[in-house]
Structure 1
Amino acid sequence: MTELICIVCPRGCHLRVVEDHGYSVSGHGCSRGETYGKNELSNPVRIVTSTVRINGARIRRCPVKTNGALPKNLVMDAVKLLDSVHLYSPIRRGQAIIEDVCGTGISFIAVRDL
């Protein structure tokens, strides 16, 4: 049995996941918690948020995030890619900053206009 805290919504349900011919989840307050518990053990994924350097804007860092969930084992590699990025203003919200992160088809996108 594995114990998890669900991060899908603010409730933070305490889940208990048992692996037996699939996964059985208890302690969830909604169906999203059940799905989260199963996925967290079989294929954990994360949305990645960070910032990158930018020139020509009134602030020095541009917030970015992935437009989809990356496999958890690729998160550190994805963040390392951001170290080499240096943007120049203007940047538009939704603009792709890095495409096809680690061969996943997921992109880092700008979260605000700068």
Structure 2
Amino acid sequence: MSEQTLTCIGCPMGCRLRVTLEDGQVTAVDGAACGRGAVYARQECVCPTRHISTLARVRGRREPLSVKTAQPIPKAMIFACVEEIHRTCVTPPVKIGDVIVENVCGTGVDVVATMEIEAAE
């Protein structure tokens, strides 16, 4: 049995959570003022995930394209996913929400544009 202490980011309260783990499974969560704390603690201790926001190159332009993952990806995959995104070169026009990279690094998560770029004239 082991314990971890986390600060919950599920709501603005920032509760201090004490998580008890047995054989890699969460058996108890103490300190959560709302239901989101227990959900956050279980996710963070078993399989932590994060959203990525970064930049992709745009063909024929100096300014990069702002992109993000459509859903969170496993925390262990962050650097590999960022590398794949940075190798991508996008051709304008691009609209907000356009898929820039499908299934980034085999995670099942798409990378989407968060800004628009007009076609070159």
Q: TM-score range by the shorter chain?
A: 0.7 to 0.9
Q: How does 1:20-35 map to 2 (within 5 A)?
A: 20=22, 22-35=26-39
TM-score scaled to structure 2, two decimals?
Answer: 0.82
Which residue is equivalent to 1:47? 51
Runs of 5+ consecutive residues of structure 2 not aligned to the other structure: none
CA separation in 1, counterparts of 2:93 and 2:60? 8
- Give the secondary structure class of the aligned counterpart of 1:65: strand
Please say if residues 24 and 38 of structure 1, whose CA atoms lie closer than 8 Å, have aligned partners that are also in contact.
no
Q: What amino acid is the match of 1:3? A: T
Q: State the identity %.
A: 33
Tell whether the 8 Å contact from 2:59 to 2:92 is kept in structure 1 after alignment: yes
Deviation at 1:56? 5.8
Q: CA deviation at 1:63?
A: 1.3
What's the C-alpha RMSD, in Å, of the aligned pairs? 1.8
Are 1:64 and 2:67 matched, yes or no? yes
Partner of 2:16: 14
Q: Structure 1: 5+ residue runs without aligned partners?
A: none
| 4+ runs deviating over 4 angstroms | none
DSSP 3-state at the match of 1:83: helix
